[in-house]
């Protein structure tokens, strides 16, 4: 299967859209697609059954990873278990009890990305809990209020800890009114490794951090480049795509099969055709794909490259059903999230920019003055939110909050990207509604991370219903580490 065979997103768009306002910025054509077929109402989920407690013991430790293939040297990975791909599964309403045991040479923590949980369980060292030092354990305990596809990762030295492999998937079931013929995980991530020795390269570079980030050298889906997964031929399968990379933005699509988006960041949307959806680090997309006929293949691809890159091949297997219905996947159950009161919401602007002060200047006497240090900034501060850079790579010395929110009030955050780079912006502890944008035509949807494209302004809204100090940052981890992080308080 050569990459050249893959149609471009433009061709796909022409195939799917009739008369939509197609432009390059129109990534997945929410509005136009909705115009093609009226959005389907999402039914409320039935109440959760008897809640259970799901337990897991995660031992964060160095373990070799075979990323370069059988004969090649192993990579000194860090993982949560002997199976390097940790997947925790629960049902909505269940409680999760996870013991994190730290056998790493440095402190760590677990942040449960996208989960609306109490602040003490949010896993941000110094801000929400003490760092979990080597040899120590920490017990995370919380209920799971929402269904969907989530993940978890450390929230300290993140570029290296996630870079070495620390990340896991959390699936909260109970959102599907009908079963799918298969449930496929499509975990996208890169590794920065030396292909001769298997060792890691520098996770962070100043040149990368100041621009789009430092990209990996090996792209994998799961733990292998472009794996082939057998799926029941001709049936509708669910594919959960997670961008677990720390840097790369992918623009995912499906080739040679019909595909519809059913959830964004785990939150159900009225299904719409998947053309090419941009996913920044931390973003998730649940897709239903009509599996190919027996022996035939379809591909999950990334269009955000010169030639489309195959991420995963879905191979039809077994007997296809005799009579095939039109591809028309029903929606998942509606998210049960507090609806922001837009009429009475307070609007707060957040400007995502570059630091004006980073770098050095030559003083008249010939000395070099480090402007960053003179303002108590990390010398590698390249980024800021509302002109405020997070001062250190860790979380030990938090600056003032970016905003103080009143518990129970609705807020509209006006996010403005004044840089020429993309920034996937994530808020902890809340799920927000992405309302609109001056550049990208997305359907209104719930999310925990929104990808700001260059010069984009987007509005998000939510009810500040969870008390605490909630991190608000770019999920390109080098940007987060070099200033583009802050927090809001809810009290
Ligand atoms: Cu997934 Cu603060 O991060
Ligand atoms: Cu960023």
Q: Using one digit for the tens of pLDDT, what is the confidence trace for 107-135?
A: 999 999 999 999 999 999 999 999 999 99
pLDDT of residue 227: 97
Top pLDDT among 345 and 35 is at: 345
- Judging by DSSP bridges, how do beta strands 183-191 and 168-173 pair with one another? unpaired
Distance (Å, whole) CA 193 – CA 163 = 10
- Here the tokens at position 351 are 């400007």
E strands present in 277-334: 277-279, 284-290, 297-302, 309-317
Strand extents, DSSP E, 26-167: 53-65, 75-79, 86-91, 95-102, 111-113, 137-143, 148-153
pLDDT tens per residue, range 285-324: 999 999 999 999 999 999 998 899 999 999 999 999 987 7
Distance in Å, CA 458 to ligand 2 centroid? 15
Whole-angstrom distance, CA of residue 26 vs CA of residue 10: 11
pLDDT of residue 325: 87
Token pair, residue 341, equals: 């009161």
**Percent of the chain residues past pLDDT 90, beyond the cut:** 80
- Between the alpha carbon of residue 281 and those of residues 1, 92, 188, 399, the distances in Å are 27, 25, 9, 25
**H-only helix segments in 283-387:** 371-374
Ligand 1 center from residue 455 Cα (angstroms):
23
Note whether 479 and 209 are within 8 A (CB): yes
- Is a pLDDT exceeding 80 seen at residue 267? yes
The confidence band for 368, taking pLDDT boundaries of 50, 70 and 90, is low
The helix or strand, by DSSP H or E, that contains position 118, with its residue range, turns out to be: none
8 Å CB contact between 143 and 93: yes
**pLDDT at residue 391, as a whole number:** 82
Nearest CA to ligand 1 atom 3: 113
The pLDDT tens digits of the residues spanning 420-464 come to 999 999 999 999 999 999 999 999 999 999 999 999 999 999 999
Question: How many angstroms is it from 420 CA to the middle of ligand 2?
Answer: 10
Residue 18 has pLDDT above 50, yes or no: no
In this prediction, residue 36 carries a pLDDT of: 55
CA 154–ligand 1 middle distance (angstroms): 8
Classify 417 as helix, strand or coil: strand
Q: Which pLDDT band holds residue 402 (cuts at 50, 70, 90)?
A: very high
Closest Cα to atom 1 of ligand 1: 113
Whether the pLDDT of residue 271 is over 80: the answer is yes
Nearest CA to ligand 1 atom 2: 471
Q: What is the pLDDT of residue 361?
A: 46
Which ligand is the nearest neighbour of the Cα of 115? 1
Could you identify the atom of ligand 1 that is nearest to the CA of residue 473?
2
Say how many Å lie between the CA of residue 423 and the centre of ligand 2: 4
Q: Are 16 and 264 in contact (CB under 8 A)?
A: no
Q: Give 355's pLDDT tier (boundaries 50, 70, 90).
A: confident
Higher per-residue pLDDT: 465 or 36: 465
174 CA from centroid of ligand 2 (Å): 33
Torsion of CA 128, 134, 137, 140, to 10 degrees: 40
Task: Give, as one character, the DSSP assignment of residue 193.
Answer: B
Task: Give residue for tokens 């949807």.
Answer: 445
- Ligand with smallest separation from the Cα of 158: 1
Nearest ligand by distance to the CA of 127: 1
Q: How many C-beta atoms lie closer than 10 Å to residue 297's C-beta?
A: 18
Ligand 1 pocket: which residues have CB below 6 Å? 111, 113, 153, 155, 282, 426, 428, 471, 473, 475
pLDDT band with cut points at 50, 70 and 90 for residue 373: very low
Tokens 């979990």: give the residue: 132
List the structure tokens of 122. Answer: 């949010």
Chain segment 161-202, per-residue pLDDT in tens: 999 999 999 999 999 999 999 999 999 999 999 999 999 999
Atom of ligand 1 minimally distant from the CA of 471: 2
357: left (phi over 0), alpha (psi -120 to 50) or beta: alpha
β-bridge mates for residue 462, sequence order: 411
In this predicted structure, the answer to whether residue 409 has a pLDDT above a threshold of 80 is yes
């Amino acid at each position: 299967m050569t990459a050249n065979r893959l149609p471009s997103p433009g061709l796909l768009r022409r195939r799917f859209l009739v008369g939509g306002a197609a432009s390059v910025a129109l990534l997945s054509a929410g509005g136009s697609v909705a115009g093609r077929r009226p959005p389907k109402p999402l039914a409320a989920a039935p109440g959760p059954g008897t809640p259970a407690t799901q337990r897991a013991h995660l031992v964060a430790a160095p373990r070799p990873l075979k990323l370069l293939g059988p004969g090649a040297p192993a990579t000194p990975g860090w993982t949560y278990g002997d199976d390097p791909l940790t997947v925790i599964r629960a049902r909505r309403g269940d409680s999760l009890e996870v013991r994190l045991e730290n056998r790493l040479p440095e402190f760590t923590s677990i942040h449960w990305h996208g989960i609306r949980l109490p602040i003490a369980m949010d896993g941000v060292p110094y801000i929400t809990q003490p760092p979990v030092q080597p040899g120590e354990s920490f017990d995370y305990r919380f209920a799971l209020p929402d269904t969907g596809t989530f993940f978890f990762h450390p929230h300290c030295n993140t570029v290296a800890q996630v870079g070495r492999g620390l990340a896991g998937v959390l699936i909260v079931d109970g959102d599907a009114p009908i079963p799918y013929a298969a449930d496929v995980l499509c975990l996208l991530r890169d590794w920065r490794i030396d292909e001769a020795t298997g060792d890691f390269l520098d996770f962070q570079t100043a040149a990368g951090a100041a621009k789009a980030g430092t990209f990996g050298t090996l792209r994998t889906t799961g733990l292998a480049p472009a794996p082939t997964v057998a799926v029941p031929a001709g049936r509708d399968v669910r594919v959960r795509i997670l961008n677990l990379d720390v840097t790369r933005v992918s623009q995912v699509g499906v080739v040679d099969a019909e595909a519809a988006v059913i959830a964004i960041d785990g939150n159900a949307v009225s299904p719409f055709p998947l053309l090419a959806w941009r996913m920044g680090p931390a973003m998730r997309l649940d897709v239903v794909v009509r599996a190919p006929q027996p022996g035939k293949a379809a591909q999950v691809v990334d269009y955000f490259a010169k030639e489309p890159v195959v991420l995963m091949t879905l191979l039809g297997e077994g007997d296809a059903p005799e009579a095939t219905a039109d591809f028309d996947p029903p929606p998942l159950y509606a998210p049960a999230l507090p609806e922001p009161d837009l009429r009475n919401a307070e609007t707060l602007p957040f400007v995502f920019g570059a630091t004006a002060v980073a770098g050095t200047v030559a003083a008249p006497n010939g000395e070099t003055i480090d402007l960053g240090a003179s303002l108590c900034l990390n010398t590698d501060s390249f980024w800021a939110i509302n002109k405020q850079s997070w001062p250190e790579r860790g979380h030990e010395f938090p600056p003032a909050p970016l905003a103080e929110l009143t518990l129970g009030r609705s807020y509209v955050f006006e996010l403005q990207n004044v840089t020429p780079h993309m920034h996937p912006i994530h808020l902890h502890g809340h799920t927000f509604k992405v309302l609109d944008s001056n550049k990208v035509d997305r359907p209104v949807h719930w999310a925990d991370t929104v990808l700001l494209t260059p010069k984009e302004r987007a509005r998000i809204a939510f009810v500040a219903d969870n008390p605490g100090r909630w991190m608000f940052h770019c999920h390109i981890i080098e940007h987060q580490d070099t200033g583009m992080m802050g927090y809001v308080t809810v009290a």
